């Protein structure tokens, strides 16, 4: 009679966390920065069609890193949830907190259920209020934890490198142009050297409370970005030195950490941009 292998719950959770964290760190970072008129999202994303940052509702936006099909499903679920609540009650009754809770429950349940692969995603849910003090920025990790962020937040890729750059330079109440310049510079910041990310590879969007329409989400187009960023010197696109479909080979350089710790930047930065999947957008 054979004995099943015993795996301790701690080991099981740690393995699942390591698995999820590895998938998330493979892509490139997304930065969220609070500025005077709302919340700005910037990410390096060469695809014009597959977005990492999107609109959920009037004052709520969503940003994600990790596996595209997984966070796309979460995004659609969020849009459905928000639209259904807004239709059944009122537009003002759709809140970022409610949405963050729904996501947290979903991610947490999947993470701790043994039978399913944990989602390899990390999310921002942002909601703007009437004044900067009312703005909210939630960060959700693959295991369903919610953190309330203030000022700025970074996830995915070499998140700690970008975050340390921001922590030195971030100032509350910046103008949109300043916030964009800061966020773009932070994304281009590397441990060895800084690079200039081409304008066409940037995905930039804002929740802007000064917009006259009830829907406050707006994308900032490359032409507009060009004006804001001005001359930054010659652009250098992200290194693409690994085939995009190779799963991973970086097991060794993933430091173990407890599942509760925020995702730290791993050395896989720029190696394997799996979050730009080679698939067509939904027709």
Partner 1 sequence: MSDPRLPAAFLQPGTSSFSDFLAEQAPDLLPARRTVPQGHAGDLAPHGTTIVAATYPGGVVMAGDRRATMGNIIAQRDIEKVFPADEFSAVGIAGSAGIAVEMVRLFQTELEHYEKIEGTTLSMDGKANRLAALIRSNLGMAMQGLAVVPLFAGFDLTGGRGRIFSYDVTGGRYEETAFHSVGSGSLFARGALKKLYREDLDQTDCVTAVIQALYDAADDDSATGGPDLTRRIFPVVQVITADGGRRLPDAEVAAIADRVIAGRMAQPDGPTAPLTSSPITGGDAR
- Residues near partner 1, by CB under 8 A: 49, 51, 54-56, 73-74, 76-77, 79-81, 83-84, 86-88, 102-103, 105-106, 109-110, 213, 215, 281-282
Q: Which is nearer to partner 1, 106 or 181 (CB)?
A: 106
Q: What is the CA radius of gyration of the chain?
A: 19
Q: Least distance to partner 1 from the beta carbon of 151, Å? A: 27
Residue showing tokens 């304008």: 199
Q: Least distance to partner 1 from the beta carbon of 215, Å? A: 8
Q: Least distance to partner 1 from the beta carbon of 72, Å? A: 8
Q: Which is nearer to partner 1, 53 or 163 (CB)?
A: 53
Q: Least distance to partner 1 from the beta carbon of 277, Å? A: 14
What's the CA gap between 157 and 65, in Å, rounded? 8
Residue showing tokens 């390096």: 44
Q: Which is nearer to partner 1, 108 or 132 (CB)?
A: 108
Q: Least distance to partner 1 from the beta carbon of 207, Å? A: 14
Other C-beta atoms lying within 10 Å of the C-beta of residue 105: 11
Q: Which is nearer to partner 1, 81 or 196 (CB)?
A: 81
Q: Which is nearer to partner 1, 98 or 132 (CB)?
A: 98
Q: Least distance to partner 1 from the beta carbon of 36, Å? A: 25
Q: Which is nearer to partner 1, 36 or 102 (CB)?
A: 102
Q: Least distance to partner 1 from the beta carbon of 102, Å? A: 5
Instruction: Provide the greatest CA pair distance for the chain.
Output: 72
Token pair in block for residue 234: 């010659």
Q: Which is nearer to partner 1, 86 or 190 (CB)?
A: 86
């Amino acid at each position: 009679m054979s004995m099943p292998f015993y795996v301790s719950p701690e080991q099981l959770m740690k393995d699942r966390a390591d698995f999820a964290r590895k998938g998330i760190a493979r892509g490139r970072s997304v930065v969220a920065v609070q500025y005077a008129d709302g919340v700005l999202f910037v990410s390096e994303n060469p695809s014009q069609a597959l977005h990492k940052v999107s609109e959920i509702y009037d004052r709520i936006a969503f940003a994600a890193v990790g596996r595209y099909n997984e966070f796309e499903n979460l995004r659609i679920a969020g849009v459905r949830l928000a639209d259904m609540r807004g239709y059944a009650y009122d537009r003002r009754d759709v809140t970022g907190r409610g949405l963050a809770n729904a996501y947290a429950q979903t991610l947490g349940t999947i993470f701790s259920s043994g039978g399913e692969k944990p989602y390899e995603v990390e999310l921002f849910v942002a909601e703007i209020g009437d004044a900067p003090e009312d703005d909210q920025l939630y960060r959700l990790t693959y295991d369903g934890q919610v953190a309330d962020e203030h000022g700025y937040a970074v996830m995915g890729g070499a998140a700690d490198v970008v975050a340390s750059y921001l922590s030195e330079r971030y100032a509350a109440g910046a103008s949109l142009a300043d916030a964009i310049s800061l966020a773009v510079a932070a994304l281009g910041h590397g441990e060895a050297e800084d690079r200039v990310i081409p304008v066409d590879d940037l995905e930039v969007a804002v929740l802007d409370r000064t917009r006259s329409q009830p829907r406050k989400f707006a994308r900032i187009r490359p032409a507009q970005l060009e004006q804001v960023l001005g001359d930054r010197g010659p652009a250098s696109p992200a290194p693409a030195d690994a085939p995009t479909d190779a799963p991973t080979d970086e097991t060794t350089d993933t430091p173990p950490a407890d599942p509760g710790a925020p995702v730290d930047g791993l050395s896989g930065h720029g190696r394997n941009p799996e979050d730009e999947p080679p698939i067509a957008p939904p027709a």
